[in-house]
Structure 1
Amino acid sequence: MTIQNLREKIVLEYPIKASLTSLYYSLSNPSGLESWFADRVDGYDDYFMFYWDGDQQRADNIEIESNEFIRWQWNDREGDDEYLEFRLVREEVGGGMLLVVTDFVDNDEIEDATLLWNEQVKMLKRKLGCS
């Protein structure tokens, strides 16, 4: 009998005091993503290639709305309803932005994934000068 890990959707929100333009660039452009998310990113029309510590992962662009959100599906999850999404929401109070990260992780890795996203977004904030 095989025990299969169930995948859970996680949605994390991070307030970021940065301009919409610079924040969206950091989330949607290969050089912006290299500054905080991956070691290297190659962008193509329909997909990005992400590289970490010698590993690579293809992510297909499945939905994009400029200055609002970008959604990828990892090629190893094709056919699943899983995706990685960065969504930007303007905060009404304070004039900042809210970055909403939606990801899917094994149910026994929710805490670790949340800690990893916290560190990644901390690096993004430093890169944008708003740590």
Structure 2
Amino acid sequence: MTKATRIKFVREYPINASAKLLYPYLSTASGLAQWFSDEVKIDHDKIFNFVWDGRNHYAEMTGLRTNRSVRFNFLSEDKKPLVDAPYIDFSIESSELTQEQFLKVVDYSNEDDMEELEELWDNLMQNLRETVGG
């Protein structure tokens, strides 16, 4: 079996919402289910299950900093850590100069079509902005 090549997609999206308002949409199952995934469940081991197109994708929340950032490391189908695991990292950043808020997204995944990934995230960010009113 050949190892999948992963790419790192990094973008900053301006978002008109405070970190305090935005953070629950990035760090809770109910918040994430509103814009990021078809459904999000958390099992008794605190493993997140992101459901897209009826398929389960398990992830562990790591690197949690309240009202600042959160990272999800994706796991194998049997919920075990992977070597060079795909992850999604959200961090809320603000410009001191303009007082604008940005959501920085780092998507380290198997997706090899950069344009498709960009389109996906543009759509997700549109969902998020509509959800938070930003």
Q: Same fold (TM over 0.5)?
A: yes
Change over 3 Å in CA distance of 1:109–1:42 after alignment to 2: same
| Residue 64 (str. 1) matches residue 64 (str. 2) | yes
Q: Residues 18-63 of structure 1, C-alpha deviation per residue, up to 9 Å, x if partnerless?
A: 0211111111111111110011111356421111221111011121
**Paired residues for 1:1-131 under 5 Å:** 6-44=5-43, 46-76=46-76, 78-80=82-84, 82-106=86-110, 108-130=112-134
* Deviates most, 32-41 or 92-101: 92-101
The count of aligned residue pairs is 129
For the residue of structure 1 that corresponds to 2:67, the secondary structure is coil
After TM superposition, the runs of 4+ consecutive aligned structure 1 residues lying more than 4 A away are: 2-5
RMSD between aligned residues: 2.1
Give the number of the structure whose residues are more often helix, by fraction: 1
Unaligned runs of at least 5 residues, structure 1:
none
User: Under a length normalisation based on structure 2, what TM-score does the superposition of the two structures give?
Assistant: 0.85
Percentage identity across aligned positions?
33
Cα deviation for residue 81 of structure 1 reads 5.0
